[in-house]
Structure 1
């Protein structure tokens, strides 16, 4: 879909086109309501501006749609397919690295009470594991901010890819 088609689409169709970007209906609704966009850049900047207001509650809600690193996404929708593709490097990892990610995920969840979130696209399984270990040293406030930053990166990457 092009930005022009997105601008002209009925609300229901426009929502469907971007709902896979993040499991936050409010963000989807606000972005659809902000149409028309003069350019892709304007659409992306608006998406980023709307995402800048996310808080811990939004993070927790959005995480409900994100699998643990190394685990298969639930469901068969576009969001599940994207998660699977974004985590492709983990599928290729050896058994020891997969086990280290599983153990790291468990340690992270014990420490912070939520799923470890990282923009997986473009990162190797080893890089994700190193980031997981680094972030385990964060205090809860720092980690919440890092997780929100990662959620924004994932969302905006998916939004950009929607309009390629």
Structure 2
């Protein structure tokens, strides 16, 4: 849809569209409530501000909508498209990613979140292994940054002309 169409949506429909970008109800409310946007850049900036203002509990809500890297959820076409490269990885890389996901979740108590679009399985595995060395506070900052990237990509796909 075009930005003008998004701006004209009823509040509930705008929030529904935004929920496909980020699973935080507070984020969808904030971004929808700040309409109308005069440009795509203004929308993206508002989305980043809204994310930065989220509580840790709201970040956890957003994480609920993301499968593990390499895991497929039948109803989640967006994540499947973003992680498409992992499906063609070799068995050794797939096993290493699955093991890394388990180690990450045991260490940090959350799903490993990364903006996977356009990245190879080997890059994702290297990133996962690197992030396992982070302390919890640093990792939470990295996770927020990755969530912002994912939200930006998805908003770009929502608004016509941005990919």
What interval of TM-score do these two structures reach, taking the shorter chain for normalisation? Answer: over 0.9
Give, in angstroms, the shift of residue 49 of structure 1.
1.3
* Structure 2 residue 30 is the aligned partner of structure 1 residue 34: no
In the alignment of these two chains, the number of paired residues is 160
Question: Is the CA contact (8 Å cut-off) linking 2:23 and 2:61 kept in structure 1?
Answer: yes
What is the CA–CA distance in structure 1 between the aligned matches of 2:133 and 2:59, rounded to whole Å? 20
Give the structure 2 partner of residue 120 of structure 1.
116
What is the CA–CA distance in structure 2 between the aligned matches of 1:113 and 1:8, rounded to whole Å? 39
Question: Is the CA contact (8 Å cut-off) linking 2:27 and 2:54 kept in structure 1?
Answer: no
Give the structure 1 partner of residue 16 of structure 2.
16
TM-score (ref. length: structure 2):
0.93
Runs (4+) of structure 1 exceeding 6 A deviation are: none
Question: Is the CA contact (8 Å cut-off) linking 1:56 and 1:144 kept in structure 2?
Answer: no
Secondary structure at the residue paired with 1:54?
coil
Give the structure 2 partner of residue 64 of structure 1.
64
Give the structure 1 partner of residue 89 of structure 2.
93
Unaligned ranges ≥5, structure 1: none
Residue-by-residue CA offset, 1:68-94 (whole Å, 9 max, x unaligned): 100012x52xxx111000000000101
Give, in angstroms, the shift of residue 44 of structure 1.
1.3
TM-score (ref. length: structure 1):
0.93
What is the CA–CA distance in structure 2 between the aligned matches of 1:157 and 1:52, rounded to whole Å? 17
Alignment of 1:81-160 (within 5 A): 81-160=77-156
Give the structure 2 partner of residue 6 of structure 1.
6
What is the CA–CA distance in structure 1 between the aligned matches of 2:37 and 2:77, rounded to whole Å? 27
Alignment of 1:39-54 (within 5 A): 39-54=39-54
Moved more, 91-100 or 6-15: 6-15
Unaligned ranges ≥5, structure 2: none
Residue-by-residue CA offset, 1:20-61 (whole Å, 9 max, x unaligned): 001011111111111111111111111111111234222211
RMSD between aligned alpha carbons?
Answer: 1.2
Moved more, 27-36 or 124-133: 27-36
Give, in angstroms, the shift of residue 16 of structure 1.
2.2
What is the CA–CA distance in structure 2 between the aligned matches of 1:126 and 1:11, rounded to whole Å? 41
